[in-house]
Structure 1
Amino acid sequence: MPAAAELICGSSKVVDLISRLPPDVFSETCLHILTYLSGLSTGVDAAELSSRLSSSGITVDFGDLQSITRYLLLTFRCAGRQSLSADGLISRLEEGSSRWAKSVLQIIHKLWSEHGAEVKLQQEATGMLSIGQLVDMQWKLGMAMSSDTCRSLNSPYVMVMLKVANPSGQICQKAFEMTIQQFQNLHGQFKEIAAVMETV
Structure 2
Amino acid sequence: MGGLLDKFLIPKASNPESKVFYLKMKGDYYRYLAEVATGDVRAGVVDDSQKSYQEAFDIAKAEMQPTHPIRLGLALNFSVFFYEILNSPDKACQLAKQVLQSLTFQGTGGGGEQHKSYQEAFDIAKSKMQPTHPIRLGLALNFSVFYYEILNSPDRACHLAKQAFDDAIAELDTLNEDSYKDSTLIMQLLRDNLTLWTSDTQGEGEDANEGGDQN
Pick the TM interval, shorter chain: under 0.3
- TM-score norm. by structure 1 comes to 0.25
Larger fraction in helix: 2
Larger fraction in strand: 1
Larger CA Rg, structure 1 vs 2: 1
Structure of greater relative contact order (alpha carbons < 8 Å, 6+ residues apart)? 1
